[in-house]
Amino acid sequence: MAAYIVRRLLLMIPTLLGIMLLNFVIVQAAPGGPIDQIIARYQGMDSNASTRLDAGGGDPSAGGDAASRGARGVDPRFIAQLEQQFGFDEPAYQRFFDMIVDYATFDLGDSFFRDRPVLDLMLERLPVSISLGLWTTLLVYFISIPLGIRKALHHGSRFDVWSSGLVILGYAIPGFLFAILLIVLFAGGSYYDLFPLRGLTSPDFDQLSLWGKVTDYLWHITLPVLAASIGSFATLTMLTKNSFLDEIHKQYVLTARAKGASERRVLYGHVFRNAMLLIIAGLPSALVGIFFTGSLLIEVIFSLNGLGLLGFEAVMQRDYPVIFGTLYLYTLIGLILKLVSDLTYMWVDPRIDFETREA
């Protein structure tokens, strides 16, 4: 077991480097880098200043420099200063090497446009993403597991057929599309105005009582959680059902029934415990999707100030330190949770031996 864990940990290093290198090349090749973003803003401000001077009849000599600079383009010395400030005066391979060396000590650098450490920005946004992911996980598990058990006990019945149709329909609807539908129906879009459209709390949240804060928080989180949960119901429900069906037809269940054990004792004393092993073992992997990959568009649509929105804003602004910093931590956490998931499988079912298979 120890040798397997060591091999997996060592394998994470080239995997992480490969992912970072691939994304580094793609991002560097994409047009519209951070310097282009700053130049575009600079030219826009110069253009606006020149327009105001011309319209107001101001002193031509006062605005002539700005106007001529906007007409000619940006001063090359200014561009050179920006390249030196952001480190673009060095070759790409050197910048990648320096980034990886810093990331090895969890020094994720500073944001280009926020003038704050990337790690501080992520820690500031982390509670929102954890809140959304935690409620989504609880809702999915507390609904999908009982539903999957009921479907297994009534396999082939009308309930099983129509519930399977609803579950598959929910799985086919993308989370962001369902979020838009919820907004149209319940957030003042076209029908009802029952829930807030954006944010996790109201502006007067600090002045509310304890009960008021709880209800205000739940009022805001309801639609985002529903939208984030819709795509996860089908997988877990069908996995629970199939696990129960597989266990129900095993020999030990027939033996327990032959000995006179009650149906409730058979189902929840034997079948449930064995069927849930697979579900519990898959929890670490499920958390990766729910916490990190599944909440991006949901946070953007509902304006939730979490990690997903931070990453989206960084991509739009070409804020490279935030892009690569979040990617680095996401990938590292994902690889670690994948290892934890495999170890959990081996713990709950000793028959599974990844170490022997790799050998």
Render pLDDT for 184-214 as a digit per residue (tens, 0 to 9): 888 876 778 888 877 888 888 888 888 888 8
**Torsion 209-213-214-220 (CA) sign:** positive
Position 61 confidence tier, pLDDT thresholds 50, 70, 90: very low
Q: Looking at the predicted structure, is the pLDDT value of residue 156 above 60?
A: yes
- Bridge-partner residues for 110, per DSSP? 117
Q: What pLDDT sits at residue 356?
A: 56
Residue 45 has pLDDT above 60, yes or no: no
Question: How confident is the model over 289-318, as a mean pLDDT?
Answer: 78
What average pLDDT does range 309-325 have in this prediction?
86
pLDDT of residue 17: 92
pLDDT in tens, 259-287: 777 777 877 777 777 777 767 766 766 66
Domains by residue range for the chain, with CATH? 35-104 (no CATH), 118-352 (1.10.3720.10)
| Nearest Cα to Cα of residue 307 among 335, 337, 23, 315 | 315
The residue that leads in pLDDT, 37 or 109, is 109
Type of residue numbered 318: R
* Burial class for 132, CB neighbours closer than 10 Å (0-12, 13-18, 19+): buried
Output the pLDDT for position 350: 64
The per-residue pLDDT for range 2-37, each reduced to its tens digit, is 787 888 888 889 999 999 999 888 888 777 777 777
Joined together, the tokens standing for residue 93 give 């391979």
